[in-house]
Structure 1
Amino acid sequence: MSMNIEYAKTAPERAEIDALSGPTVVEFGTDWCGFCRAAQPLIAQAFQSHRAVKHIKIEDGSGRPLGRSFRVKLWPTLVFMLGGKEVARLVRPGDVSEIRDALALIDEPLAQ
């Protein structure tokens, strides 16, 4: 699987996220967020060597239950999960290496 480029307007239920078995990154943000837009090239670069990781990109905002269940306060927030459990979290990542490091906690990188 590759990186999603659009934020889903409709979020899955928290129980559905918790039931995922493989490596997953849940990204919270919005299309109009400057921090979110600035992070996209970094996220894309990091995902190039982690194509097996599922990427769920969710539009977040006030009153959105999935983001609140993860206690998201700032965008973008990336939640790195393995077997439905949170392993790492990055808020407003500014460097591709920190995203790669978090991805390495949930997935083996592809040989380059």
Structure 2
Amino acid sequence: MAATNTYCSTEPDRSEIDALTGPTMLEFGTPWCGYCRAAQPAIMSALQAHDTVRHLKIEDGSRRPLGRSFTIKLWPTLVFLRDGQEVLRLVRPGDEQAIARALSQIDPGST
């Protein structure tokens, strides 16, 4: 699976996320958010070593049910899932190494 540079045009239902198998990273944010744009190089670089991780960019905002179901408060927030269950999250990740460590927790086989 490849990293994606664009936000989902339609938000998946929480039940769809809960039913996912394998490692998944949800990235909540918006295309206009400065913090989100600044984090992109680190996110994309860290994902390069984890090609089995599903990457879903979810555009968040008020009255967006998926973000509210994960209690998203700040952007970007990365939620790391294994088989639909949250393992950990990073809020406004500051560096590639933190993202890489989190990815290794949901996808230990990749290097």
State whether residues 46 and 96 of structure 1, in contact with CA within 8 Å, keep that contact through their aligned partners in structure 2: yes
1:45 is aligned to 45
2:81 is aligned to 81
Match runs of 1:54-69 below 5 Å: 54-69=54-69
**Does the C-alpha gap of structure 1 residues 10 and 30 become closer, same or farther in structure 2, counting only changes over 3 Å?**
same
TM-score by length of 1: 0.96
Q: Helix, strand or coil: the match of 1:67?
A: helix
Q: Tell me the amino acid that sits aligned with residue 78 of structure 1.
A: L
Unaligned stretches of 5+ in structure 1?
none
Unaligned stretches of 5+ in structure 2?
none
CA distance in 2, matches of 1:109, 1:62: 37
CA distance in 2, matches of 1:34, 1:9: 20
Q: CA deviation at 1:108?
A: 2.7
Q: CA deviation at 1:109?
A: 5.1
2:104 is aligned to 104
Partner deviation per Cα, 1:19-58 (whole Å, 9 max, x = no partner):
0011000110000000000000000010010010000111
* 4+ residue runs over 2 A deviation: 108-111
Cα RMSD (Å) of the superposition?
Answer: 0.9
Percent identity at matched positions?
61
Q: CA deviation at 1:9?
A: 2.9
Match runs of 1:20-39 below 5 Å: 20-39=20-39
